[in-house]
Amino acid sequence: MSLLIMKPGLLTTVQDLGRYGYQQYGVIAGGAMDSYALRMANLLVGNDEREAGLEMTVTGPEITFAEPSLISICGGGLSPMLGEYPLPLWRTVYAPKGARLHFGRLSDGCRAYLAVAGGIAVPVQLNSRSTYLRAGIGGHQGRTLRSGDVLPIGTPTLRGNLWTEMLTREQGPESLSVSRWFPAYSLIPSYPETPVLRVIAGEEFLAFSEESRERFLSELFTILPQSDRMGYRLSGSSLSLVREQSLISSAVTFGTVQVPAGGNPIILMADRQTTGGYPKLAQVITADLPLLAQAKIGSAVRFRLITLQEAQKQLLQQELELRRLRLVLEHYHNG
Amino acid sequence: MAETTDDSEFMPQAPVNHGAARIVPLGDSAAIVILGDSISPQIHNRVRALCRYLEHHPFTGMTELVPSFTSIAVYYDGLGVLKAYQEYIRLGEECYPFLVVAALLEKILSLVESELPLQPRTVRIPVYYGGEAGPDLEFVARQNDLSPQEVIGIHSSAEYLVYMLGFAPGFPYLGGLPSSISTPRRLSPRVAIPAGSVGIAGDQAGVYPLETPGGWQLIGRTPISLFKPEAVPPTLLQAGDIVRFYPITRREFIEWGEDTP
């Protein structure tokens, strides 16, 4: 089983949920920028949600399926087409042998995730299949995909095979088929043009001037073109500390909002470094990281302060909903 | 926006204090245990002792540890923590994962205080100093009114403590650079520093495991790989190791065979 990359798109990499356990050695966690969309895509093809898929950014790739494949695309609206048919997102799709997946205009969000039943079976390195570009490890040869790449696909689960059987029952194995089932609307996020990101106060929150804190929580900040998978650089009001202080480097994480001396905040993203020494103003809550990951360069974001207790409640709720969906899907064998 | 920043409800979580240690949140999925406010071998030993304890006795839901100079970030899965420590939840509605983790860490801190310090491991690293491998050796010497040979002598006779790994896989932050050769960072960073480069930045010493941009003063290069993705653990050095550098010739460097300057 394999996928053939005909055109790579703007930035297409193999990602799973990240490389955990090695940050103490300076090895970044990485993983999907929008892990919610990847998890959902995996669940919809019967995979374990930790399987690797493709992260496709702004301009999608062109892919040929060497064998019949059960696929799902979740996340940003990159307008996928299978041959001449537009594909809905957040569905299970049966792609016949030789089918050609390509993408059109960007409607909302900026990253889509392709999961294939069986998962993208590139070698596991340091406990993950995620591409770590700077170290050249993980993913497909440690790099972004190129035309001509052939990606191996693993063995679908029993559930994946049953769904393939269900989807081919009416039209036969030669035709494209889209599932009638899909997750509840409440589980499908929308990606607003100007998202409001909930944050909790960071360790140095009170070291910032009151004026800076108020501006951070009331004004719009624009995502600058220098932003990437490592960090989003923002421009807006300049934020400053009550007095300059030098900090000892310590751990930073996905969503940490740090402010270097220049005053423009940087939000650390999936490929963040493991430790940092800039003051931590705030932390985007984990439940809102997908909205941030789908915010494109040039768009604006706004911040709203909530408590840690509320942030953890939101996260637990999201996890419980996904768990419920997983249970439902595990028992969905005849429909 | 309705929120004002003087609303105490939204202020940073009050730290959980345990003796000299403080426990604060790092976002909604990690807690940081701060064991001191300055870089010193004593605080580093406490960081290591707590890390070692947590590695051998992880609590359910703990996912990852990231030690740094004076603190340890403890990452956790909130759902796993709540499920495993039901007894904490009965304390009332106020209970959420961070509070459970802070309570667990407090208990662990009291246990760790009785632990004995570890015997450090010494790792010797060969360095080809100067020439094309150490383009800033002359500058470091001039800055400190020394000859390049004296800089090499001082750099290679000191003992360095690996405080933490960060910045890039396997990059060691080394303490113990003799102040007689300390040199500020370059005014403009280099776009690409070759893997193995041995550098100085202020009072810090380090070795670049991968080719990256960087602003440290480069005085030499080692033929040894500091990052080995196939090894367990994947890095030559670990926090707590003692490093000693020793000079090798250009010829020995080339014969080592892992890299050529």
Q: Which residues of B touch A301 (CB under 8 A)?
A: none
φ, ψ for residue B149, nearest 5 deg: -65, -35
Distance of alpha carbon A321 from alpha carbon A40, whole angstroms: 11
- Run of H or E residues at B207: strand B204-207
Residue-wise pLDDT tens digits, B210-250: 998 888 999 999 999 999 999 989 999 999 999 999 999 99
Q: Which residues of A touch B96 (CB under 8 A)?
A: 308-309, 312-313
Which tokens sit at A90? 């957040």
> Which are the contacts of B200, defined by CB distance < 8 A and separation ≥ 6?
B136, B140, B155, B177, B181, B182, B183, B216, B217, B219
Distance of alpha carbon A207 from alpha carbon A243, whole angstroms: 8
In this complex, do A213 and B5 lie within 8 Å of one another by their Cβ atoms?
yes
Distance of alpha carbon A236 from alpha carbon A223, whole angstroms: 9
Q: What is the pLDDT of residue B1?
A: 39
Nearest CB partner across the interface for A251, out of B73, B97, B233: B73
Q: What is the pLDDT of residue A147?
A: 98
- Percentage, residues of chain B above pLDDT 70: 91
Chain A: nearest CA to B160, how far in angstroms?
18
Report pTM: 0.93
Distance of alpha carbon A120 from alpha carbon A125, whole angstroms: 14
What is the arithmetic mean of pLDDT over A244-269?
A: 92
Q: Is pLDDT above 50 for B257?
A: yes
Q: Which residues of A touch B26 (CB under 8 A)?
A: 203, 251-253, 256, 283
Q: What is the pLDDT of residue B116?
A: 64
- Run of H or E residues at B161: strand B160-165
Nearest CB partner across the interface for B166, out of A214, A273, A306: A273
In this complex, do A249 and B28 lie within 8 Å of one another by their Cβ atoms?
no
Q: For chains A and B, what is the number of CB pairs under 8 angstroms?
A: 165
Contact assessment for residue B224 and residue B196, using Cβ atoms and an 8 Å cutoff: yes
Q: Point out the least confidently predicted range of A97-101, A251-255, B92-96, B131-135.
A: B92-96
Nearest CA in chain A to B238: A25
| Bridge partners (DSSP) listed for residue A303 | A197
Q: Is pLDDT above 50 for B3?
A: no
Helices A35-43 and A308-330: crossing angle, nearest 10°? 20
Residue-wise pLDDT tens digits, A178-197: 999 999 999 999 999 999 99
Burial bucket for residue B55 (CB in 10 Å: 0-12, 13-18, 19+):
exposed
Q: What is the pLDDT of residue B5?
A: 43
Distance of alpha carbon A117 from alpha carbon B132, whole angstroms: 51
Cα torsion through B84, B85, B87, B90, rounded to 10: -100
Q: What is the pLDDT of residue B8?
A: 62
Which tokens sit at B230? 């196939």
Q: What three-state secondary structure class fits B82? A: helix
Question: Who has greater pLDDT, A82 or A245?
Answer: A82
Output the average pLDDT for chain A.
95
Tell which of B3, B4, B7, B10 to mutate to test the A interface (max A CBs under 10 Å): B10
What is the arithmetic mean of pLDDT over A6-24?
A: 97
Residue-wise pLDDT tens digits, B20-67: 899 999 999 999 999 999 999 999 999 999 999 999 999 999 999 999
Distance of alpha carbon B42 from alpha carbon A218, whole angstroms: 43
Distance of alpha carbon B73 from alpha carbon A274, whole angstroms: 10
H helices present in chain B, as ranges: 41-56, 78-84, 86-89, 97-112, 137-143, 148-157, 250-256
Among candidate residues B152, B127, B120, B133, the one with its CA nearest the CA of residue B224 = B127
Asked if the peptide bond before residue B234 counts as cis, ω within 30 degrees of 0, the response is no
A114, amino acid identity: L
Q: Is pLDDT above 90 for A247?
A: no
Q: What is the pLDDT of residue B68?
A: 95
Chain A: nearest CA to B149, how far in angstroms?
32
Q: Is pLDDT above 50 for A244?
A: yes
Confidence band, pLDDT 50/70/90 cuts, at residue B93? low
Q: Choose from A260-264, B109-113, B255-259 the range with maximum mean pLDDT.
A: A260-264
In this complex, do A255 and B10 lie within 8 Å of one another by their Cβ atoms?
no
> Which are the contacts of B81, defined by CB distance < 8 A and separation ≥ 6?
B59, B60, B61, B97, B100, B101
DSSP structure string for A107-125: -S-SEEEEEETT-B-PPPB
Nearest CB partner across the interface for A311, out of B4, B28, B239: B28
Q: What is the pLDDT of residue B6?
A: 47
Which tokens sit at B237? 């050095």
Nearest CA in chain A to B162: A25
If one counts every other C-beta atom within 10 angstroms of the C-beta of residue A101, the result is 24
Confidence band, pLDDT 50/70/90 cuts, at residue A331? confident
φ, ψ for residue B247, nearest 5 deg: -75, 140
Q: What is the CA angle A126-A132-A138, rounded to 5? A: 50
What is the arithmetic mean of pLDDT over A214-229?
A: 96
Q: Is pLDDT above 60 for B92?
A: no
Which tokens sit at A302? 């706004």
In this complex, do A311 and B239 lie within 8 Å of one another by their Cβ atoms?
no
Q: What three-state secondary structure class fits A284? A: strand
Q: Which residues of B touch A256 (CB under 8 A)?
A: 26-27
- A277 dihedral zone (left: phi>0; alpha: psi -120 to 50; beta): alpha
What is the arithmetic mean of pLDDT over A12-41?
A: 97
Confidence band, pLDDT 50/70/90 cuts, at residue B260? very low
Distance of alpha carbon B44 from alpha carbon B160, whole angstroms: 13
Among candidate residues B143, B148, B251, B243, the one with its CA nearest the CA of residue B187 = B143
Q: Is pLDDT above 90 for B112?
A: no
| Bridge partners (DSSP) listed for residue A75 | A112
Distance of alpha carbon B137 from alpha carbon B153, whole angstroms: 12
Q: Which residues of B touch A20 (CB under 8 A)?
A: 63-64, 75
Distance of alpha carbon A138 from alpha carbon A13, whole angstroms: 10
Strands B204-207 and B212-214, bridge-based pairing: unpaired
Residue-wise pLDDT tens digits, A91-106: 999 999 999 999 999 9
Radius of gyration of chain A (CA): 20
